[in-house]
Amino acid sequence: MSFGYQVLGFGSFPNRASGINASGGTKTQAGDYTIHTFTSSGTFTVDSAPDSSTVEYLVIAGGASGAALFGGGGAGGYRCSVSGETSGGGASAESALAVSAGNYTVTIGAGGSAPSRSNQQSMGGDGSNSVFGSITSTGGGGGSGSHNVVGRNGGSGGGGSDWASGGTAGGSGTSGQGYAGGAANGADRGGGGGGGAAAVGGNGLTNRGGLGGAGRSSAINGSSTARAGGGAAGMYTGSGYGSSDGAAGGSGGGGSAPSGSSVDGNAGATNTGSGGAGGTRPNTLITGGNGGSGLVIVRYLT
């Protein structure tokens, strides 16, 4: 006698609710997921959760600023645990974070501050770390504007400086978070672009600074969005050199270096962890663009 029961294979069960009850940040819903987005520091509070509960996360640190002249700022470190996506530097997605009832600190890293206009060799300011519980992403490395000094290391590295003494290399990115900055061209022209979450910064050219490294895309909040692009590099446009063609920042919010001469680098986009661009000038005291602040997004099955 048949009762009409159907036995489903393990792969046939639909998504099950996680049973997590939590607050903090801006709470939204997309498909099967509850999402908490933090654009400023706060607390992710788990009021209740079954044993063995996990959440997925995207943690992006603050991007660095570009140098007063030359190097673009590196993007903030990019760590992602969304299944099927990629962390910065080409790394696979990380493991979801185990949670239980309690409070989890969320710190949104500030973008690096633009350097002083009073010194054309001022280095770009590093971005600050972003934190979600035990997960820390490293702030981006500032772009180099100094003789014989490489771009600063960071989540993604800052771009190198180009002076008559020879161009320098970009700073290193952090493994699993971002890529290195680009090198200057060594002919007193274009600096190196800042590294991004998905690509190294571009090397400098004779009529243009290096492009910012590309950012990485995530659909953790239900819509695929690129973030953590590197800042473009500026260049020297003194007598006999002409004007810069300008350079684009990395996808996902990296600051661009405008065309012309005596122009400030543009800032990285807010809450993307993107780097700011380096400045372009002959002798006028200008500066690079600020780095973009970071971001933390947490999600779990509803």
Per-residue pLDDT at 182: 98
- Which residue(s) pair with 55 in the sheet? 97
Residues near 253 by Cβ (< 8 Å), separated by ≥ 6? Answer: 63, 215, 226, 227, 228, 229, 268, 269, 272, 273, 274, 292
Q: Per DSSP, what are the bridge partners of residue 257? A: 247
Other C-beta atoms closer than 10 Å to the C-beta of 219 total 13
pLDDT of residue 6: 37
Give which of 234, 63, 215, 78 is closest to 152, Cα–Cα: 63
**Cα distance between residue 8 and residue 156, in whole Å:** 46
pLDDT value of position 75: 99
Q: Model confidence over 264-283: pLDDT tens digits?
A: 999 999 999 999 999 998 87
Query: Domain boundaries in the chain?
Result: 26-302
Residue of 272, 261, 271 whose CA lies nearest to 212: 272
Give the model's pLDDT for residue 261: 84
pLDDT in tens, the chain (302 residues): 333 433 333 333 345 678 999 999 999 999 999 999 999 999 999 999 999 999 999 999 999 999 999 999 999 999 999 999 999 999 999 999 999 999 999 999 999 999 988 888 899 999 999 999 999 999 999 999 988 899 999 999 999 998 766 789 999 999 999 999 999 987 778 999 999 999 999 999 988 999 999 999 999 999 999 999 999 999 988 777 777 889 999 999 999 999 988 899 999 999 999 999 999 988 778 999 999 999 999 999 99
For residue 207, what are its two tokens?
A: 């009529």
Q: Which of 175, 216, 220, 183 is nearest to 197 (CA)?
A: 216
Q: How many CA atoms lie within 13 A of 202 on its CB side?
A: 26
- 8-state DSSP, 287: -
Distance from C-alpha of 18 to C-alpha of 237, rounded to nearest angstrom: 58
Q: Do β-strands 166-167 and 26-30 pair in parallel, antiparallel, or remain unpaired?
A: unpaired
pTM of the model: 0.93
Is residue 64 a contact partner of residue 231, using CB atoms and an 8 Å limit?
yes
Coil, strand or helix at 244: strand
CB 102 within 8 A of CB 238: no
Q: What is the DSSP letter of 183?
A: P
Exposed / middle / buried, residue 54 (Cβ in 10 Å: 0-12, 13-18, 19+):
middle
HSE, CB side, 13 Å, CA atoms: give it for residue 175: 0
**Arithmetic mean of pLDDT over the chain:** 92
